[in-house]
Amino acid sequence: MSETAKGNILSSATRVLSGLEIICRADSPVSLAQLATELDCSQVSAYRIAQTLIATGYVHAAGNGKGGYEPGWRIVELASPMLARNQLRSFAQPILRELAVRYDESITLAIPDGSSVLFVDRVSGPRTIEFFCDVGRRLPLHIGAASRAVLAHYPDELFEQYVAGPLSRMTQETNVTEARLRQDRDAILERGYAVSREDVEVGITGVAAVIKNRSGDVLGAAAIANISARWDQTEIETRGAVMVEACAQIGERAALVTQRLTLDGASTDDN
């Protein structure tokens, strides 16, 4: 960042936004002490930040009797118009919803964003389970079915740059070696879909395929997941074929959406 750019930044606003991000990313209410620790500030400053966010509707006090702070509905209000404008989500939702009901399983939609994918939609059947890959979550390109489906389609130079690491783990099953990731890439490109066996969450298996536009550019990926014990190899292969077909249908609808893959951040244009 240039010195000129730094001079135009309000440090107080940056601190408040950092506090908001900490609260939004947490799996449970964030205590005042935790907020102060993560922001590296005093509890007095953390309290003022929290009260600013509460006053503006972005955060509210947790109603669990234990205290702490949770995201407020103002976040959803701001995010909803942006999600509605995302044409890929609009094109994908009817197709993914039908599959979620047919198989009674969770299906997610992710878009590439630099060295990760961002989950922008999720549809579920009547009795599906909750798991990590929810709207707003991110995963590195080497973790999860949707992520690795996208990574497999990165240009060779960017793929090699990414797998050179360092790469993080989420479980003991997370693949972090260059050789295995290259083998996985070859398998994904050959069969058309990626398989995630408990590398995101223990006990969860997912299958994903990429969505391409008319020019063959990767716009995103859709993944279907369930408890590992419910899927044998035949079920995995069946879901793989289903996701390949569904993603091809979405791609036909999104034929004019363009995307450029980079490790710094992907740009999408809706034409």
Q: Is the pLDDT of residue 184 over 80?
A: yes
| In the predicted structure, residue 3 carries a pLDDT above the cut 60 | no
Question: How far is it, in rounded angstroms, from Cα 153 to Cα 145?
Answer: 13
Residues 36/68, Cβ–Cβ less than 8 Å: no
Kindly report the CATH number that applies to the domain delimited by 3-76: 1.10.10.10
For residue 270, the model assigns a pLDDT of 46
Contact predicate 223/193, CB 8 Å: no
Crossing angle (nearest 10°) for helices 43-55 and 32-39: 110
Q: Is pLDDT at 35 greater than 90 in this prediction?
A: yes
pLDDT of residue 4 exceeding 60: no
The pLDDT value recorded for residue 8 is 64
Q: Where are the domains of the chain?
A: 3-76, 86-270
- pLDDT band, very low/low/confident/very high, at 5 (cuts 50, 70, 90): very low
| Owner of token pair 């997370």 | 174
pLDDT of residue 83: 60
Q: Give the model confidence (pLDDT) of 84-103 as tens digits.
A: 556 788 889 999 999 999 99
Inter-residue contact 96 to 146 (CB < 8 Å): no
Nearest residue to 199 (alpha-carbon basis) of 146, 261, 155 = 146
Phi, psi of 25 (to 5 degrees): -85, -15
Q: Is 143 helix (H, G, I), strand (E, B) or coil?
A: coil
Q: Which CATH architecture has domain 86-270?
A: 2-Layer Sandwich (3.30)
DSSP conformation class of 230: G
Q: Which residue has the higher pLDDT, 5 or 33?
A: 33
